Chain A
Amino acid sequence: MISKIINMAERMKDEQDRLLESMFESAPIADNGFSNQIVRRVRRKLWLRRITLPVAVGIGLLIAFRPMAALVTGVYELLLSMPGDLVPSLEGSLPSLQLIVTGALVLGVAMFSLSMLED
């Protein structure tokens, strides 16, 4: 019985429906800069998101530069100190320390630029 009443109420608007509709009806709210305020917030958020990764990468590179250089030097020296018959042509084939560090930096900058381009 109740479901029949509910179904009927859905199809037909009774007096109370019309009354409620007129009561709930309200004048449109003027924008008055509301949308601009949100757009500004969104733009700020986008800008922050874009800048966060590069800044984090930059800071990370600065922090990691010295330990990385020390690690590379250590590995390089270890390889050089190995017996000649273990790595016969090592000295000729290994790039210089300067080249390795420069290469790592170039790679870092390239990855950073790619992520910027992607954004």
Chain B
Amino acid sequence: MTWGEDHELVARIVAVQDTRAFGELIRRHQSHVRNFLRKLSGDMSAADDLAQDCFMRAWDKLHTYSGSGTFIGWLLKIAYTTFLQSKRKSKRYAEILEQVGHVSEAESRTYAVQADEVTDLDKFLAVLSEEERAIMVMSYACGLSHREISEATSMPVGSVKSVIFRGKEKIRTSFDIKDHQHG
């Protein structure tokens, strides 16, 4: 069976709850969503769990997709919200454990990758704040426009541009990119 454009699939899913069409949508976009969440969290398995949650939420919210922006932009908005909510949850959990005197294993899930896997990109991402990281990944890894990022993060376009500018500045100053190029 040949499937149409994303918005046609969405319309079909909303109309008849076609799970096969939803499967096709996932196949098309899972790589972007998982990549985004992996780069955001630095934890591959946690990112894949979050990606599953993201698609489950997308299923519930598909009727709210208006078709005005790209589907991947809409999906990444859900992925980012899912990530932030999971962060908040694990932070609350860590606080509770701290209160009862336990050392939390989920200790502030900041960006952390295993020592033997640290790449230049990991080093770049580590100097950025969470918000900067999300926006930089959306821009450079997922190829979203400033307007799409603005919709995904609910930030004004001007702020998105500032964050990208700031992120680039941070990377530039932290790694002295002018003097020696990477790659």
B-binding residues in A (CB < 8 A): 2, 5-7, 9-10, 15-17, 19-26, 28-29, 31, 34-39, 41-43, 45-46
CB distance from B8 to the nearest CB of A (A): 18
CB distance from A109 to the nearest CB of B (A): 25
By beta carbon, the residue of chain B nearest A30 is B31
List, sorted by A's number, 30 A–B pairs whose CB atoms are closer than 8 Å. Answer: A2-B165, A5-B165, A6-B162, A9-B165, A10-B146, A15-B181, A19-B183, A20-B136, A20-B168, A20-B171, A21-B140, A23-B120, A23-B140, A23-B183, A24-B39, A24-B121, A24-B136, A25-B141, A26-B141, A29-B34, A31-B30, A31-B31, A34-B30, A34-B51, A35-B23, A36-B23, A38-B56, A39-B20, A42-B19, A42-B56
A37–B165 Cα distance when bound, in Å, is: 39
Among B34, B56, B140, B177, the one with the most A-chain Cβ atoms within 10 Å of its Cβ is B140
* B182 close to A23 (CB less than 8 A): yes
Please tell me if B137 contacts chain A, counting CB pairs below 8 Å.
Answer: yes
Q: Encode contact with A along B152-174: 1 for CB under 8 Å, 0 otherwise.
A: 00000000011011001001100
SS of B interface (majority): helix
Q: Do A41 and B52 form a contact, CB below 8 Å, given A6-B165, A16-B172?
A: yes
* B26 close to A20 (CB less than 8 A): no
The residues of A that contact B22 with a CB separation of less than 8 Å are 38-39, 42
Please tell me if B35 contacts chain A, counting CB pairs below 8 Å.
Answer: yes
A38–B34 Cα distance when bound, in Å, is: 13
* B35 close to A29 (CB less than 8 A): yes
A26–B171 Cα distance when bound, in Å, is: 19
